[in-house]
């Protein structure tokens, strides 16, 4: 029986994402923000899962505090999370968006 090609693609993508995460995270901290959009999206997805696991509203002050535990440039990370459609922002309140962004 032929293996599922979609399954093989997913496994390959997962391995690629794991490599990116290992390259940019050390001891639970983001060492740098990737310049390349594809790698940055992998990092942002990981950050969303690490810092904002619950589907609820996060005031900007809390977003800043959570992101600061991972990387000092919280303003850039907030902007990238919103621009990548991983989180929404309305009146200084952030929320996870469904899906994987991109």
Domain residue limits at 10: 5-96
pLDDT digits (tens, 9 = 90+) for 40-70: 999 999 999 999 999 999 999 999 999 999 9
Q: How far apart are the C-alpha atoms of 82 and 2, rounded to whole Å? A: 40
Domain assignment present for residue 81? The answer is yes
- Containing 58, the helix (H) or strand (E) segment is strand 57-59
Which pLDDT belongs to residue 22? 95
Full-model pTM: 0.83
Domain assignment present for residue 40? The answer is yes
Average pLDDT over residues 74-84: 98
Measured in whole angstroms, how far is the alpha carbon of residue 63 from the centre of its chain?
Answer: 13
Domain assignment present for residue 73? The answer is yes
Total number of domains constituting the chain: 1
Is residue 16 very low, low, confident or very high in pLDDT (cuts 50, 70, 90)?
Answer: confident
Domain assignment present for residue 102? The answer is no
Domain assignment present for residue 101? The answer is no
Domain assignment present for residue 64? The answer is yes
Which pLDDT belongs to residue 77? 98
Average pLDDT over residues 59-84: 98
Give the burial string for 24-42 (b: 16+ CB within 10 Å, else e). bbeeeebeebbeeeebbbb
Domain assignment present for residue 28? The answer is yes
């Amino acid at each position: 029986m032929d293996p599922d090609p979609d399954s093989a693609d997913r496994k390959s993508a997962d391995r690629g994402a794991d490599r990116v995460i290992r390259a940019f995270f050390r001891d639970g901290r983001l060492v740098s923000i990737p310049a390349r959009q594809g790698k940055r999206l992998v990092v942002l997805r990981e950050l969303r899962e690490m810092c904002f696991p619950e589907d609820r509203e996060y005031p900007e002050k809390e977003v800043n505090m959570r992101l600061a535990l991972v990387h000092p440039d919280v303003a850039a990370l907030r902007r990238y999370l919103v621009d990548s459609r991983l989180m929404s922002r309305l009146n200084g309140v952030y929320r996870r968006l469904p899906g994987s962004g991109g």
